[in-house]
Amino acid sequence: MHIKKERILNSRQSLLLLPALIYLLVFYFLPITNIFFKSLSLNDGFSLDNYVRILNVPVYRQVLINTVKIAFSVSFICLILGYPTAYFLLKLPKRIFNVVIIIVIIPFWTSILVRSFAWVVLLQKEGAVNNLLLKLDIISQPIDILYNATGVHLGMVYVLLPYMIIVLYSSMENIDRQQLKVAQSLGANPVSAFIKVFIPYSLNGIYIGFLFVFLLAFGYFITPALLGGRKETMIAMLIDTQMNRMLDWGFGSALSFFLFICIVIILIILSFVVDIESIINKSQQS
Protein backbone atom coordinates (compact mmCIF):
# COMPACT_ATOMS: atom_id res chain seq x y z
CA MET A 1 0.00 0.00 0.00
CA HIS A 2 1.40 3.39 -0.85
CA ILE A 3 0.50 5.63 2.03
CA LYS A 4 2.55 8.74 2.60
CA LYS A 5 2.59 9.54 6.29
CA GLU A 6 1.53 12.98 7.43
CA ARG A 7 4.66 14.65 8.68
CA ILE A 8 3.22 17.82 10.10
CA LEU A 9 3.03 17.98 13.87
CA ASN A 10 0.41 20.09 15.52
CA SER A 11 1.58 22.58 18.14
CA ARG A 12 0.64 20.44 21.14
CA GLN A 13 2.64 17.52 19.81
CA SER A 14 5.58 19.81 19.17
CA LEU A 15 5.63 20.57 22.89
CA LEU A 16 6.75 16.98 23.36
CA LEU A 17 10.00 17.96 21.68
CA LEU A 18 10.69 20.64 24.27
CA PRO A 19 12.52 18.56 26.92
CA ALA A 20 14.88 17.12 24.32
CA LEU A 21 15.48 20.54 22.78
CA ILE A 22 16.20 22.12 26.15
CA TYR A 23 18.59 19.31 26.97
CA LEU A 24 20.38 19.79 23.65
CA LEU A 25 20.51 23.52 24.18
CA VAL A 26 22.04 23.34 27.62
CA PHE A 27 24.37 20.41 27.21
CA TYR A 28 25.31 20.71 23.55
CA PHE A 29 24.81 24.10 21.93
CA LEU A 30 25.80 26.19 24.92
CA PRO A 31 29.11 24.37 25.47
CA ILE A 32 29.91 24.58 21.77
CA THR A 33 29.30 28.32 21.82
CA ASN A 34 31.48 28.51 24.91
CA ILE A 35 34.27 26.67 23.12
CA PHE A 36 33.92 28.95 20.14
CA PHE A 37 34.31 32.08 22.26
CA LYS A 38 37.25 30.57 24.13
CA SER A 39 38.98 29.94 20.85
CA LEU A 40 38.65 33.55 19.82
CA SER A 41 40.35 35.06 22.82
CA LEU A 42 44.09 35.38 22.95
CA ASN A 43 45.31 37.48 25.88
CA ASP A 44 42.15 39.57 26.15
CA GLY A 45 40.43 40.80 23.08
CA PHE A 46 39.19 38.99 20.04
CA SER A 47 41.63 37.58 17.59
CA LEU A 48 41.62 34.86 15.02
CA ASP A 49 45.24 34.01 15.81
CA ASN A 50 44.41 30.48 16.86
CA TYR A 51 42.68 29.74 13.58
CA VAL A 52 45.47 31.33 11.58
CA ARG A 53 47.86 29.05 13.42
CA ILE A 54 45.79 25.99 12.52
CA LEU A 55 45.75 26.91 8.84
CA ASN A 56 49.38 27.97 8.60
CA VAL A 57 51.29 25.42 10.62
CA PRO A 58 51.44 22.31 8.42
CA VAL A 59 51.23 19.73 11.19
CA TYR A 60 47.57 20.45 11.94
CA ARG A 61 46.60 20.21 8.28
CA GLN A 62 48.49 16.93 8.02
CA VAL A 63 46.82 15.47 11.09
CA LEU A 64 43.40 16.53 9.86
CA ILE A 65 44.00 14.85 6.51
CA ASN A 66 45.22 11.70 8.29
CA THR A 67 42.10 11.71 10.43
CA VAL A 68 39.79 12.01 7.43
CA LYS A 69 41.65 9.26 5.58
CA ILE A 70 41.54 6.85 8.49
CA ALA A 71 37.90 7.59 9.34
CA PHE A 72 36.92 7.13 5.71
CA SER A 73 38.74 3.83 5.18
CA VAL A 74 37.52 2.43 8.49
CA SER A 75 33.92 3.29 7.61
CA PHE A 76 34.33 1.76 4.18
CA ILE A 77 35.70 -1.51 5.56
CA CYS A 78 32.89 -1.60 8.12
CA LEU A 79 30.40 -1.23 5.29
CA ILE A 80 31.95 -4.02 3.22
CA LEU A 81 32.00 -6.36 6.20
CA GLY A 82 28.76 -5.22 7.78
CA TYR A 83 26.46 -5.41 4.77
CA PRO A 84 26.70 -9.19 4.19
CA THR A 85 26.49 -9.77 7.93
CA ALA A 86 23.30 -7.73 8.23
CA TYR A 87 21.80 -9.50 5.22
CA PHE A 88 22.74 -12.84 6.72
CA LEU A 89 21.06 -11.87 9.98
CA LEU A 90 17.83 -11.24 8.06
CA LYS A 91 17.66 -14.84 6.94
CA LEU A 92 18.30 -16.49 10.27
CA PRO A 93 15.61 -18.38 12.16
CA LYS A 94 14.62 -16.57 15.32
CA ARG A 95 16.49 -18.68 17.87
CA ILE A 96 19.83 -18.50 16.11
CA PHE A 97 19.26 -14.83 15.37
CA ASN A 98 18.91 -14.09 19.08
CA VAL A 99 22.23 -15.76 19.81
CA VAL A 100 24.05 -14.01 16.97
CA ILE A 101 22.69 -10.58 17.84
CA ILE A 102 23.90 -11.00 21.40
CA ILE A 103 27.36 -11.88 20.08
CA VAL A 104 27.29 -8.69 18.02
CA ILE A 105 26.22 -6.56 20.98
CA ILE A 106 28.37 -8.04 23.79
CA PRO A 107 31.50 -6.05 22.82
CA PHE A 108 29.56 -2.89 23.69
CA TRP A 109 29.55 -4.00 27.29
CA THR A 110 33.32 -4.07 27.51
CA SER A 111 35.31 -0.90 28.07
CA ILE A 112 36.89 0.39 24.89
CA LEU A 113 40.21 0.79 26.65
CA VAL A 114 40.25 -2.89 27.57
CA ARG A 115 39.31 -3.91 24.04
CA SER A 116 41.97 -1.73 22.44
CA PHE A 117 44.59 -2.96 24.84
CA ALA A 118 43.60 -6.57 24.11
CA TRP A 119 44.45 -5.89 20.46
CA VAL A 120 47.94 -4.78 21.52
CA VAL A 121 48.46 -8.14 23.17
CA LEU A 122 47.09 -9.99 20.13
CA LEU A 123 49.01 -8.11 17.49
CA GLN A 124 52.46 -7.76 19.00
CA LYS A 125 55.50 -9.49 17.55
CA GLU A 126 55.15 -12.48 19.84
CA GLY A 127 51.40 -12.15 20.16
CA ALA A 128 48.66 -14.64 19.40
CA VAL A 129 48.17 -13.64 15.75
CA ASN A 130 51.83 -13.87 14.80
CA ASN A 131 52.29 -17.11 16.71
CA LEU A 132 49.34 -18.68 14.94
CA LEU A 133 50.50 -17.58 11.50
CA LEU A 134 54.01 -18.85 12.22
CA LYS A 135 52.73 -22.20 13.43
CA LEU A 136 50.59 -22.62 10.34
CA ASP A 137 53.66 -21.80 8.24
CA ILE A 138 51.81 -18.98 6.51
CA ILE A 139 54.68 -16.64 7.32
CA SER A 140 58.29 -17.27 8.23
CA GLN A 141 58.93 -14.03 10.16
CA PRO A 142 56.57 -12.21 12.50
CA ILE A 143 54.69 -9.50 10.59
CA ASP A 144 54.33 -5.87 11.51
CA ILE A 145 50.69 -5.44 12.38
CA LEU A 146 50.94 -3.18 15.39
CA TYR A 147 51.89 0.48 15.83
CA ASN A 148 50.97 1.18 12.23
CA ALA A 149 47.95 1.70 10.00
CA THR A 150 47.10 -2.01 9.99
CA GLY A 151 46.80 -2.13 13.75
CA VAL A 152 44.66 1.00 13.87
CA HIS A 153 42.31 -0.27 11.19
CA LEU A 154 41.93 -3.68 12.81
CA GLY A 155 41.15 -2.12 16.17
CA MET A 156 38.80 0.57 14.92
CA VAL A 157 36.86 -1.70 12.57
CA TYR A 158 36.45 -4.17 15.41
CA VAL A 159 34.99 -1.50 17.68
CA LEU A 160 32.78 0.21 15.08
CA LEU A 161 31.47 -2.78 13.12
CA PRO A 162 28.57 -3.54 15.51
CA TYR A 163 27.21 -0.02 14.95
CA MET A 164 27.24 -0.55 11.20
CA ILE A 165 25.62 -3.98 11.45
CA ILE A 166 22.81 -2.77 13.68
CA VAL A 167 22.03 0.28 11.54
CA LEU A 168 22.09 -1.74 8.31
CA TYR A 169 20.00 -4.51 9.81
CA SER A 170 17.25 -2.19 11.02
CA SER A 171 17.02 -0.55 7.63
CA MET A 172 17.03 -3.90 5.82
CA GLU A 173 14.36 -5.25 8.13
CA ASN A 174 11.94 -2.69 6.75
CA ILE A 175 12.44 -3.64 3.14
CA ASP A 176 9.47 -5.46 1.74
CA ARG A 177 10.81 -8.79 0.52
CA GLN A 178 7.75 -9.24 -1.63
CA GLN A 179 9.37 -6.79 -4.02
CA LEU A 180 12.20 -9.26 -4.63
CA LYS A 181 9.75 -12.04 -5.39
CA VAL A 182 7.87 -9.73 -7.74
CA ALA A 183 11.08 -8.93 -9.56
CA GLN A 184 11.93 -12.58 -9.92
CA SER A 185 8.48 -13.47 -11.19
CA LEU A 186 8.95 -10.77 -13.79
CA GLY A 187 12.00 -12.59 -15.07
CA ALA A 188 14.98 -11.34 -13.09
CA ASN A 189 17.44 -13.88 -11.71
CA PRO A 190 18.09 -13.78 -7.91
CA VAL A 191 21.36 -11.91 -8.29
CA SER A 192 20.08 -9.05 -10.42
CA ALA A 193 16.92 -8.90 -8.32
CA PHE A 194 19.18 -8.36 -5.37
CA ILE A 195 21.30 -5.74 -7.12
CA LYS A 196 18.50 -3.82 -8.77
CA VAL A 197 15.83 -4.02 -6.08
CA PHE A 198 17.24 -4.80 -2.66
CA ILE A 199 20.36 -2.66 -2.64
CA PRO A 200 18.65 0.59 -3.73
CA TYR A 201 16.11 0.19 -0.95
CA SER A 202 18.88 -0.32 1.56
CA LEU A 203 20.73 2.84 0.46
CA ASN A 204 19.10 4.76 3.28
CA GLY A 205 20.66 2.40 5.80
CA ILE A 206 23.99 2.45 4.03
CA TYR A 207 24.11 6.22 4.12
CA ILE A 208 23.17 6.47 7.78
CA GLY A 209 25.43 3.59 8.81
CA PHE A 210 28.41 5.02 6.95
CA LEU A 211 27.82 8.49 8.37
CA PHE A 212 27.41 7.20 11.88
CA VAL A 213 30.61 5.17 11.81
CA PHE A 214 32.49 7.97 10.04
CA LEU A 215 31.53 10.54 12.65
CA LEU A 216 32.48 8.22 15.48
CA ALA A 217 35.79 7.30 13.86
CA PHE A 218 36.61 10.95 13.22
CA GLY A 219 36.75 11.77 16.90
CA TYR A 220 38.50 8.60 18.00
CA PHE A 221 41.31 8.85 20.50
CA ILE A 222 42.10 5.77 22.54
CA THR A 223 42.27 3.15 19.79
CA PRO A 224 44.64 5.02 17.46
CA ALA A 225 46.71 6.16 20.46
CA LEU A 226 47.28 2.58 21.60
CA LEU A 227 47.49 0.78 18.28
CA GLY A 228 48.95 3.34 15.92
CA GLY A 229 52.36 4.75 15.14
CA ARG A 230 53.29 8.40 14.82
CA LYS A 231 51.75 8.64 11.35
CA GLU A 232 48.38 7.59 12.68
CA THR A 233 48.03 10.61 14.94
CA MET A 234 44.43 11.74 14.86
CA ILE A 235 43.14 15.15 15.70
CA ALA A 236 41.53 14.16 19.01
CA MET A 237 45.00 13.28 20.29
CA LEU A 238 46.30 16.74 19.46
CA ILE A 239 43.35 18.37 21.19
CA ASP A 240 44.07 16.27 24.26
CA THR A 241 47.70 17.40 24.33
CA GLN A 242 46.70 21.04 24.06
CA MET A 243 44.04 20.86 26.74
CA ASN A 244 45.76 18.63 29.26
CA ARG A 245 49.48 19.19 28.88
CA MET A 246 50.13 22.47 27.10
CA LEU A 247 47.21 24.08 28.92
CA ASP A 248 46.49 26.23 25.89
CA TRP A 249 42.72 26.04 26.22
CA GLY A 250 42.22 28.76 23.65
CA PHE A 251 44.08 26.79 21.02
CA GLY A 252 42.58 23.48 22.08
CA SER A 253 39.14 25.05 21.74
CA ALA A 254 40.05 26.35 18.31
CA LEU A 255 41.09 22.83 17.23
CA SER A 256 37.86 21.40 18.62
CA PHE A 257 35.71 23.96 16.91
CA PHE A 258 37.64 23.44 13.70
CA LEU A 259 36.91 19.73 13.95
CA PHE A 260 33.25 20.53 14.49
CA ILE A 261 33.12 22.75 11.42
CA CYS A 262 34.89 20.12 9.29
CA ILE A 263 32.28 17.55 10.26
CA VAL A 264 29.46 19.94 9.40
CA ILE A 265 31.03 20.63 6.01
CA ILE A 266 31.44 16.93 5.29
CA LEU A 267 27.81 16.35 6.22
CA ILE A 268 26.66 19.11 3.89
CA ILE A 269 28.77 17.78 1.02
CA LEU A 270 27.51 14.25 1.56
CA SER A 271 23.94 15.46 1.67
CA PHE A 272 24.36 16.82 -1.87
CA VAL A 273 26.00 13.67 -3.15
CA VAL A 274 23.30 11.49 -1.66
CA ASP A 275 19.92 13.09 -1.83
CA ILE A 276 18.52 12.17 1.57
CA GLU A 277 14.99 13.26 1.06
CA SER A 278 14.35 11.05 -1.92
CA ILE A 279 15.95 8.04 -0.27
CA ILE A 280 13.78 8.40 2.78
CA ASN A 281 10.70 8.77 0.63
CA LYS A 282 11.66 5.81 -1.51
CA SER A 283 12.21 3.50 1.41
CA GLN A 284 8.94 4.62 2.94
CA GLN A 285 7.09 3.74 -0.20
CA SER A 286 8.36 0.18 -0.07
Partner 1 sequence: MQMIKNLQTLSFQGRLGLKICMCIFALVFIFSGFNGCSKDNQKKELVVCSYGGSFQDAQRKAFFTPFEKETGIKIVEANWSGEYAKLKAMVDSDSVTWDLVTVAEGSIIERGIIDNILEEINYSKIDKSLFFEGSLTRYSVGFDLFSTVMAYRTDAFQGFPPPQSWADFWNVEKYPGDRCLRKDPRTTLEFALLADGVQMGSLYPLDLDRAFKSLDKIKKHVKVWWSSGHQPAQLLASKEVVMVSAFNGRIWNAVKNDNVPAEVVWNQGALDVDSWVIPKGTKNFEAAMKLIEFTSRPEVQKEFIKYISYGPTIKSTFDNLDAKTMKDLPTAPENYPKQFIFNGKWWAENERMVEEKWNQWLIKD
Name which of residues 120 to 159 contact partner 1 (CB under 8 A). 124-127, 146-147
113 binds partner 1 (CB under 8 A): no
By C-alpha distance, which of 117, 107, 145, 115 is closest to 226? Answer: 117
49 binds partner 1 (CB under 8 A): no
243 binds partner 1 (CB under 8 A): yes
Distance CA 181, CA 203 (A): 19
What is the number of other CB atoms lying within 10 angstroms of the CB of residue 284? Answer: 13
Nearer to partner 1, 9 or 246 (CB): 246
Q: How far is the CB of 226 from partner 1 (least distance, A)?
A: 10
Q: How far is the CB of 32 from partner 1 (least distance, A)?
A: 20
Distance CA 150, CA 156 (A): 10
Helix (H/G/I), strand (E/B), else coil: 41: strand
Pick the binder of partner 1 from 58, 93, 268, 273 (CB under 8 A).
58
DSSP code of residue 138:
S
DSSP code of residue 176:
-
244 binds partner 1 (CB under 8 A): yes
Pick the binder of partner 1 from 33, 62, 98, 285 (CB under 8 A).
62
By C-alpha distance, which of 147, 171, 28 is closest to 90? Answer: 171
The binding site for partner 1 (CB under 8 A) comprises 57-59, 62-63, 66, 124-127, 146-147, 225, 229-231, 233, 238, 241, 243-249
